Amino acid sequence: MTNKTIIITGPCAAESEEQILLSAKEAKKRQVDFLRVSLWKPRTKPGFDGLGEKGIELLVKVAKMGVNPATEVIIPSHAEKVIDTVLTAVPTAKVLLWIGARNQNHYIQQEIARAMGNEKRAYLMVKNQPWPSLEHWEGIIEHVLHGGISKNRLLICHRGFSPNGHANPYGYRNVPDYEMTMKIKNKTKLPVLFDPSHTGGSVDNVFRIVKEAAKHSFDGLIIEVHPNPKNAKTDAKQQLTWKQFDELLKLV
């Protein structure tokens, strides 16, 4: 890890006001950089796919508590609505939006970046695509830059690659490629975060993999933490309690 470690944490998905306000209280105590309040969830099969637009008010509530919210966005209008609502309601807030691993349409990637305009308090994070390809990953970054996002508002996140065909002794949900990630970091000079939750896929693996990742010069972590992981509507197996989160941070 580098000296200033950026920490984004919170539940996989925003599920209810109670869950998010509880999470915001814990995030505030720990002064994390951003709280995950993710409103749109790409799902393998139909199911709970997020609170959507009606959850934007939760991001406003979190921002009013002095905690900066973060959410995945899937189409450009999501970015526009979150930025307009949250940053207008709370002039001191920052928001972080991210493009998920499965959102691999270059037109949408460019348009999300374009929809973010010149708003200095809105940051964009792009995750790598599910399949291993340096060229494709570089392409995502080039597409959002082409859409007009400035480099000082752009971050990258590694969440591993689909394990198909890779050696995977610990049964990681996705297999990390630290070498490729550091190539991207050196070439782009952008901050690169690691996502031990979607890479590891289980609490044990999150602990195991964060120690591995600590040997590389990541600039931060995005970690899933839920007030009651067992009852989480998405990714229940990999979400930590706040107590586990505190233990985890001692390892980095």
| Interaction site with ligand PEP (CB under 6 A) | 12, 38, 42, 72, 100-102, 127, 159, 195, 198
Min separation Cβ 11 and Mn ion, Å:
8
For residue 197, which of 167, 242, 229, 237 has the smallest C-alpha distance?
237
Given the complex with ligand PEP, which of 115 and 125 has the nearer CB atom? 125
Binding partner of residue 100 among Mn ion, ligand PEP, none, CB cut-off 5 to 8 Å per kind: ligand PEP
Nearer to ligand PEP, 63 or 96 (CB): 96
Pick 33 or 235: Cβ nearer Mn ion: 235
Residue 141 Ramachandran class (φ > 0 left, ψ -120 to 50 alpha, else beta): alpha
Cβ proximity to ligand PEP, 110 vs 199, nearer residue? 199
Nearer to Mn ion by Cβ, of 12 and 27: the residue is 12
Residue nearest to Mn ion (CB): 12
Element (H, E) at 138: helix 134-146
Residues of the shown chain interacting with Mn ion in the complex, contacts defined by CB under 5 A: 12, 235
Residue 223 carries which DSSP code? E
Least distance in angstroms from the C-beta of 118 to ligand PEP? 26
Could you tell me the smallest distance in angstroms from the CB atom of residue 38 to Mn ion?
8
Closest distance to ligand PEP from the beta carbon of 91 (Å): 28
Q: Is the Cβ–Cβ distance between 154 and 145 less than 8 Å?
A: yes
Write the burial class of residue 158 (CB in 10 Å: 0-12 exposed, 13-18 middle, 19+ buried): buried
* C-alpha closest to that of 112 among 89, 67, 81, 137: 81
Side chain identity at residue 187, one-letter code: K
Q: How far is the CB of 168 from ligand PEP (least distance, A)?
A: 17
Alpha helices in 31-100 (DSSP H): 56-64, 76-89
Q: C-alpha 172: how far from its chain's center?
A: 18
If contact means CB under 5 to 8 A according to the sort of partner, which of Mn ion, ligand PEP, none does residue 26 touch?
none
